[in-house]
Chain A
Amino acid sequence: MMRAASLFVLPTGLSLLAFVSLASRQRLLGLCALALSALWVLLVGLKRFLRLRTPILVGATVLCGLAVFTGQPPLIAVLALTASIYGWDFSLTADSLAAFRKSAKGRFVVRYITLSSILAGLGIGLAAAAALWRTTLSFSPALGLAVGTLLVAVVLLRLARSTIETPDASEQ
């Protein structure tokens, strides 16, 4: 179920981006997006070369950036990127659930997809709100904001690193 969700979400997002790009005569961009979604379906569907999933996510991000750069509606790019991130995540989660029986996975998958949908909705909502928000920043507040963001990033990074467990002695 998780793999099926992954096979649906990421290609749908990229196909949407491809459709919009082709409609606005950005053929190369549209074809690249279609190629990426086809590649994703092949890899995840056939469970082969799964190491390429992260490069595909990076590729999808680059395509979304280019779409914005070439003047496509930012919200479409946001939708495509969100779909790419959660499709990628579903595929990775499907791997860690592979050993468990189907009946046991059902409840977990429903909960996981619900939570992911809420987060995806929140991300898209915030992006939409940010796109509507217009403000001008002078030098001093912008510098303060940048330093503050940097500090928050450092704190978050330290927290994240502290949660990485040390490998067991038996694994060393």
Chain B
Amino acid sequence: MPTQWRFFITSGLGLSLALVGVVFRLAPFLVLSIPAFVYSGALLVSLLLLPDPSVEIVRRFDRVRFSEGDAVLAKLAFRSQGAPSAFVGICDVLPSGVAVVDGETSYLGDLAGPSSEITYSIKATRGEYGLAPIRLTVWSRFGMAMRQSVGELPETLRCVPKVEPLPRIPIHPRRTRAFAGPVRANIGGTGMDFFGSRAYVPGDDVRRINWRAYALRDELVVTEFEQERIADVNLILDARARAHTQVGDSFTFDHATQATASLASHFIEQGNNVGLLIYGDYLNWVFPALGRGQTERILDALSHANIADKKAFEDLRQIPARLFPAHSQLVLVSPLVGESDVEILALLRARGYSLMLVCPDSLPLERRAHPESTASKLATRILRLERAIFLESLAQFGVKVVDWPLDEPLAVAVQQVTRRRGESR
């Protein structure tokens, strides 16, 4: 409550008592009004002596864009700008989602001397945070009055999903780009892995002639290697509310977002042309591009990705396949909902897209959240079988499935898929 209101309330009470005393000629009422008048008088005097809160406040963060789980150091420096010495309180009110891990966000004390500063470290969950103005309270040095104001220090913090290093993920889209990269293009030429051999034609590099084959067949044969090129990789993050579940503090969408960030960073580091579609609220599309800048753009888009429950995006039918280059690689990060989703994925496969599905499995988290019992064991078994059948049906369409139990890092799930592929070879 502002000091002025305290003054008005107490002086009002004092005046009322005095009025009753005068009207009814009751001297004790006049006596009773004295403490109220003394309080309100003291309040008024201290209000008049209250210094102007001219305090210069500067807030600095060591970085305003950081990964989830990283600590950010903040410094709040303030100094009086020639105002008489006062007792001040400075408080940096942080938005929900931002937590202080070390230090204090407030200062309460004299501001007579030179500039002072407070430092604190913060951590945040994924998102964009507009920081509130700093609250400044000044108390009169010898009094009870205070004046509050706000220091406008507009600042936005952006907490992007943490990128987890992943093992090499082999992808085989049917069409690649012209530039050299990490993806096997299924085209003979220069490369590292043997692709085949063919008859020599004038113009071929003499160094590529297979002399042993020449010795056997008595005709010139050239060895070819498989070309390695960059590919178009488009990530699709499923942001439909119905596809995700919350188990305690753990939310499958947060895991999916983090997985998308890790996959995007991985594919971009390999030199691919990577784009992102966040499917759920609206078609949030990050146009495919190369390089570190693209990683940042994708992480920024993921930092404010949210689930939504829109009728239009009830199933995956509205995925705008026209956005993706023909025969390119699609990576869908989704827990999936039902048979209708499988149909859409089969359709995408039929159109010639190479499809990888990263499917977060919340079952291990749910098991932890519920007490162990015969019924829960049976339920888990049934759900596991259903999931296995569901994912198997996708694999039959040629979708590469990464079954990701959420109690494990994504890298482990990816490694298992890569290993399985190696064994099957």
Contacts and interface: CB of A to CB of B under 8 A. Distances in A.
B104 A101 contact: yes
Q: Interface range on chain A: under 10, 10 to 19, 20 to 34, or 35 or more? A: 35 or more
A123 B47 contact: no
Contacts of B10: 85
Contact of A115 (B143, B147, B149): B143
29 contacts: A54-B1, A54-B9, A61-B17, A64-B32, A65-B17, A68-B26, A85-B36, A89-B39, A96-B89, A97-B108, A100-B108, A108-B87, A108-B108, A115-B144, A119-B39, A119-B144, A126-B38, A127-B31, A127-B32, A130-B31, A131-B28, A131-B31, A159-B44, A160-B8, A160-B47, A163-B48, A164-B4, A165-B147, A168-B149
A51 to B, nearest CB: 10
A31 interface: no
A165 B16 CA distance: 27
B376 interface: no
B35 A127 contact: yes
B107 A104 contact: yes
Nearest to B143: A115
A36 interface: no
Interface stretch (A4-12, A20-28, A37-45, A73-81): A73-81
Nearest to A58: B13
A82 B149 contact: no
Interface of B: 1-2, 4, 6-11, 13, 15-17, 20, 26-32, 34-39, 42, 44, 47-48, 50, 87, 89, 91, 93, 104, 106-109, 133, 135, 137, 139, 142-144, 146-150, 152
A90 to B, nearest CB: 10
Contact of B106 (A57, A65, A101, A161): A101
Interface in A90-111: 92-93, 95-97, 99-101, 104-105, 107-108
10 nearest CB pairs, A to B? A123-B35, A123-B38, A74-B28, A104-B108, A82-B35, A127-B34, A100-B108, A99-B91, A68-B28, A100-B106
A165 B148 CA distance: 10
B31 A74 contact: yes
B148 A96 contact: yes
A69 B106 contact: no
Contacts of A82: 35
A35 interface: no
A143 interface: no
Given A77-B28, A86-B39, A65 B20 contact: yes
For the complex, would chain A's binding face be called helix, strand, loop or mixed by DSSP majority? helix
B142 A115 contact: yes
B109 A104 contact: yes
Nearest to A77: B32
Given A65-B32, A81-B36, A123-B35, 6 more contacts: A85-B13, A97-B108, A100-B108, A119-B39, A159-B44, A165-B147
A122 interface: yes
A61 B35 CA distance: 11
A99 B135 contact: yes
A119 B109 CA distance: 23
A124 interface: yes
Nearest to B87: A108
Contacts of A92: 1, 6
A57 B13 contact: yes
B35 A74 contact: no
A93 B317 CA distance: 59
Contacts of A89: 6, 39, 144
A93 B6 CA distance: 11
